[in-house]
A and B are shown apart, each in its own frame.
Chain A
Amino acid sequence: MANNFDLDNIDIAWCPGCGNFPIHKALKAALSELNIDPLRLVMVSGIGQAAKIPHYIKAHFFNGLHGRALPPATAVKAANPSLTVIAESGEGDTYGEGGNHFIHTIRRNPDITNIVHNNMVYGLTKGQASPTSQAGFHTPVQVSGVFEEPFNPVAVAVSLNASFVARAFAGDMDQTKEILKKAVAHKGYALVDILQPCVSFNKVNTFQWFKERSYYLDSNYDPSDRVEAFKKAIEPDKFPLGVIYKSAPKPTFEENVTAYKKDAVPIVFRKTARTNLLEELLNSMR
């Protein structure tokens, strides 16, 4: 099915069968169904296999440094709030190298969508443990198996009262698309952690494994209940899928900063001459 966000003649660097493909498709479909104009979309990513996704979508992009997608994404949105901004990378990038930004971006609450391809392994660097690798996962570096507690992004996000927290599974493109649509349409920071099988370097957490260990939250589930959300986040056996938590509505970063208190025009388009104001300032310093 042709889509506004398709690019011709691209050489996709992912392995055949990788969980990144359905995420890529689901995202393009979600954006298209939301009627987003590719010229008003900025994809921001770090470095990794997942982080190459901006190259495969018709949009503006800022493919920056490993672990550093969230700071520039926050800044792009703040500099020009009329743009739709998506920050997308792997879990190593987002929760490992960029862990501090993950925490503080949630606190800041910019109106951006943060999509994380969580394959529980480092793909691009060929198979080391990632922050979400499960205990006992053996790699050429973790020769006796991973012993660290796996990072729980959903629990962390709920604990920080993130404005929107969801989890999806790449094995289910339709539901992933629906969840992505909600996330992109949501006002405020929206995390979508997507369980994504890596067929080349993770022989443990396969499509089948994720399928058996996940389930969808039912329609009675109330995502506004933070304690319930936290319980869901730390369930030991299976990963709940869907929108796990939504905070009470709160102002976004762009709404909170002083620069937009009096003037809603994006700062990048303000052309006010400053000479007189500077004279005034200098006078006040006299």
Chain B
Amino acid sequence: MNLSRVFKDDVSVVLCGEAGQGIVTVEKLLVKALKDSGFNIFATKEYMSRVRGGSNSTQLRVSSQPRSSYVDRIDLLIPLDSGAIAHLKDKITEQTIIFGDKSVLGADTDLVDVPFSKIAAEAGGAIYANTAALGLLMGLFGLGLKDIQDFVSSTIGSKKPETLKPNLQAAEKGFEYAASVSGPGKIEILLARSHEVSGQVLVNGAEAIGLGAIAGGCNFVSAYPMTPSTGILTFLAANSEKFGILTEQAEDEIAAANMALGAWYAGARGFVCTAGGGFALMAEALSLSGMIETPLVISLGQRPAPATGLPTRTEQGDLEFALYAGHGEFPRIILAPGSAAQAVELTAKAFNLADKHQCPVIILSDQYFVDAYANIPPFDFSKISAQEHIVKTGPGYKRYAFSADGISPRGIPGFGDGFVHADSDEHDENGNITEDKNIRKQMSQKRMAKLELMTKEAEPPSLIGSGDFEYLAVCWGSNYGVLKEAAEQVNNPKLAVLHFSQIFPLHSGAREIIGRAKKAVVFENNFSGQFAKILKLYAGVETGGKVLKYDGAPFSLEEAVAELKKFTAVK
């Protein structure tokens, strides 16, 4: 194993083992230790849909500058079982430095032998192997013995004081191994550390969506567990007492969505989070939201489908489904944040948009996005607030009063002297069933009229790179980070990236910007180029090229760079 490597900017660390071996614990602690020490972190995981066994891995990109993409490259690898090396064989190169236990992985494996199991046994049991790995990695990143001791004491030690001694012993042993392989001619990690970063918060996409929901005034959550959205539900449940959020696990997604509608009708701000399969069960309620003009906010975390698909992997295959789900014609808004910080902002905004336009708003993310951790810059929560649009009703109040922009003042029961009628049948202004053709026509026009204002208020796409581009790489949702970094690496002044965080209705400027490109390509994690179709249909632009990936994994930085190079090479 060649240990002579110098890292100045960016290190990719991978931990891999069976489910249940404790990778998650090491990951959590390591990520925190490194962030607290001032390194930028971007952590992603890939895992199997099983609770024990198999091969799961976590990648930590530790960098001097903030990065938010996943890389194929592995610089430092810690395989915890023999399956790990086979699982990652396509990504291990001669440059990869592997730290492992030969007594577990086999005597003839080419690696730096660290007897994790012996260290653990000496400390008091197999479970301490993970702490030894933690000590090793903290040491490699240049943290001192004292830092490591303090960190272990304040994290593991404060939770389970009785395990502090063995944990310290294991961490110190790991640290000793790090010292033996670090230094000139060996491993040198010379990344810049920033004070600013050490004070930042590490959040994953699920927490970011949860924080956004809280900031947006969410006070009612009904959901049914489904990967990858369960994390949002647990985050909100954990904070339900602090913020007064009524959280209920519904019997199914049908109940979840119908409960959320009942909550909004009564004046609360309801939220449901799900994945494609659960969203399918919500389709009728989505349509109900459109008909009764009662707001609904849905977080849809995509995973590869059809049907159960690859439950723990990633894809952007539900875009058209999100756009067209629900019978009949009614307007909706679809948002697709590109970073954790944007997810906070847009999720909060989703509640205000839903309230204002009295329509469903869908926040579209995916497994890769909700599970990825990054340190985010401080957030100014005073800038985002819940803007309510509820009116006090008076006698003779008409819930569906006709208006120029299609929006009727929304009252709630028990606030004012009017009656609030919501009806899933076609109805008159008062909410009573009608089959009058004229009213039907006017009501259809009223509902669809809301699209105009929604379009005016749409989020513009963000352009990364010079406005003077010839080549334009278009992406949406979670592909923001990888394309931004890939374009920076390709460093072609004629190349720009255009990221859409609102899919529907599209911002009216989309056509003009894309139209300016000599060549445009759309990057998407799906088979058929769904966003390209949407651009063609609703923005009237033909994007030509498509780079599509649908094997369950996100685009890696290397793939995106290679594709951008190919794209910009064509005259």
Please report the C-alpha to C-alpha distance between residue A106 and residue B352 in the assembled complex, in whole angstroms.
Answer: 34
Count A interface residues, CB 8 Å.
Answer: 58
| Most A C-beta atoms less than 10 A away, residue of B267, B424, B433 | B424
**Contact indicator per residue, chain B 180-203, by CB within 8 Å of chain A (1) or not (0):** 000000000000000000011111
Given contacts A71-B259, A74-B262, A100-B251, contact A274 B381 (CB under 8 A): yes
Please report the C-alpha to C-alpha distance between residue A95 and residue B202 in the assembled complex, in whole angstroms.
Answer: 47
Q: Which residues on the B side are within 8 Å of A104 (C-beta)?
A: 250-251, 255
- Check if A270 sits within 8 Å of B219, measured CB to CB: yes
Within 8 A of A (CB), among B393-447: 412-414, 417, 419-425, 431-433
User: Who on chain B is nearest to A42 by CB?
Assistant: B413
Q: Which of A215-223, A228-236, A259-267 contacts B (4 or more CB under 8 A)?
A: A259-267
Contact of A272 among B199, B240, B244, B385 (CB under 8 A): B244
Q: Which residues on the B side are within 8 Å of A185 (C-beta)?
A: none
Q: Which residues on the A side are within 8 Å of B265 (C-beta)?
A: 62, 72, 75-76
Contact of B419 among A47, A60, A263 (CB under 8 A): A60
Closest CB-CB distance, B168 to chain A, in whole Å? 23
Please report the C-alpha to C-alpha distance between residue A268 and residue B245 in the assembled complex, in whole angstroms.
Answer: 11
- Check if A60 sits within 8 Å of B262, measured CB to CB: no
- Check if A76 sits within 8 Å of B262, measured CB to CB: yes
Describe A's contact surface by its main secondary structure. Answer: helix
Within 8 A of A (CB), among B280-336: 284-285, 288, 292
Contact of B247 among A52, A60, A258, A269 (CB under 8 A): A258
- Kindly state whether residue B215 has any CB partner on chain A within 8 Å: yes
* Total number of residue pairs linking A and B with CB closer than 8 Å: 190
User: Who on chain B is nearest to A69 by CB?
Assistant: B258
User: Who on chain B is nearest to A80 by CB?
Assistant: B266
Q: Which of A149-157, A191-199, A277-285 contacts B (4 or more CB under 8 A)?
A: A277-285
Q: Which residues on the A side are within 8 Å of B261 (C-beta)?
A: 64, 72, 75
Please report the C-alpha to C-alpha distance between residue A103 and residue B255 in the assembled complex, in whole angstroms.
Answer: 12
- Check if A63 sits within 8 Å of B422, measured CB to CB: yes
- Check if B215 sits within 8 Å of A65, measured CB to CB: no
- Check if B214 sits within 8 Å of A274, measured CB to CB: yes
- Kindly state whether residue A101 has any CB partner on chain B within 8 Å: yes
- Check if A79 sits within 8 Å of B255, measured CB to CB: no
**Contact indicator per residue, chain A 179-191, by CB within 8 Å of chain B (1) or not (0):** 0000000000000
Given contacts A76-B265, A286-B199, contact A60 B421 (CB under 8 A): yes
Given contacts A39-B414, A60-B421, contact A261 B241 (CB under 8 A): yes
Please report the C-alpha to C-alpha distance between residue A59 and residue B418 in the assembled complex, in whole angstroms.
Answer: 9
User: Who on chain B is nearest to A254 by CB?
Assistant: B246
Closest CB-CB distance, A56 to chain B, in whole Å? 10
- Check if A61 sits within 8 Å of B284, measured CB to CB: no
Given contacts A278-B215, A282-B211, contact A64 B413 (CB under 8 A): no
Q: Which residues on the A side are within 8 Å of B220 (C-beta)?
A: 75, 78-79, 267
Given contacts A60-B421, A63-B423, A76-B413, contact A101 B251 (CB under 8 A): yes
Please report the C-alpha to C-alpha distance between residue A273 and residue B385 in the assembled complex, in whole angstroms.
Answer: 9
- Check if A268 sits within 8 Å of B419, measured CB to CB: no
Please report the C-alpha to C-alpha distance between residue A268 and residue B218 in the assembled complex, in whole angstroms.
Answer: 10
- Kindly state whether residue A55 has any CB partner on chain B within 8 Å: yes
Please report the C-alpha to C-alpha distance between residue A242 and residue B385 in the assembled complex, in whole angstroms.
Answer: 51
- Kindly state whether residue A44 has any CB partner on chain B within 8 Å: yes
- Check if B247 sits within 8 Å of A79, measured CB to CB: no
Describe B's contact surface by its main secondary structure. Answer: mixed
Given contacts A55-B432, A75-B270, contact A259 B424 (CB under 8 A): no
Contact of A39 among B382, B417, B425 (CB under 8 A): B417
**Contact indicator per residue, chain A 148-181, by CB within 8 Å of chain B (1) or not (0):** 0000000000000000000000000000000000
Given contacts A80-B266, A100-B252, contact A61 B241 (CB under 8 A): no
Given contacts A71-B255, A75-B260, contact A281 B266 (CB under 8 A): no
Q: Which residues on the A side are within 8 Å of B284 (C-beta)?
A: 65, 68
- Kindly state whether residue B222 has any CB partner on chain A within 8 Å: yes
- Kindly state whether residue A40 has any CB partner on chain B within 8 Å: yes
- Check if A79 sits within 8 Å of B267, measured CB to CB: yes
Please report the C-alpha to C-alpha distance between residue A55 and residue B425 in the assembled complex, in whole angstroms.
Answer: 11
Q: Which residues on the A side are within 8 Å of B240 (C-beta)?
A: 257-259
Within 8 A of B (CB), among A31-84: 38-40, 42, 44, 47, 52, 54-55, 58-65, 68, 70-76, 78-80, 82-83
**7 shortest interchain CB distances as A-B pairs:** A72-B262, A75-B262, A268-B267, A60-B413, A79-B266, A104-B251, A71-B258
List, sorted by A's number, 21 A–B pairs whose CB atoms are closer than 8 Å: A55-B423, A55-B433, A60-B413, A60-B420, A63-B423, A64-B288, A79-B262, A79-B267, A104-B250, A259-B246, A260-B246, A261-B241, A262-B241, A267-B219, A268-B219, A274-B215, A274-B217, A281-B239, A282-B201, A285-B202, A286-B200
Tell me the B residues contacting A by CB distance below 8 Å.
199-203, 207, 211, 214-215, 217, 219-220, 222, 237, 239-248, 250-252, 254-256, 258-263, 265-268, 270, 284-285, 288, 292, 379, 381-382, 385-386, 412-414, 417, 419-425, 431-433
- Known pairs A71-B262, A72-B265, A259-B240; list 16 more (Cβ under 8 Å): A60-B421, A64-B424, A68-B284, A68-B285, A76-B266, A79-B246, A79-B263, A100-B252, A261-B241, A262-B241, A268-B219, A273-B385, A274-B386, A275-B381, A278-B214, A279-B381
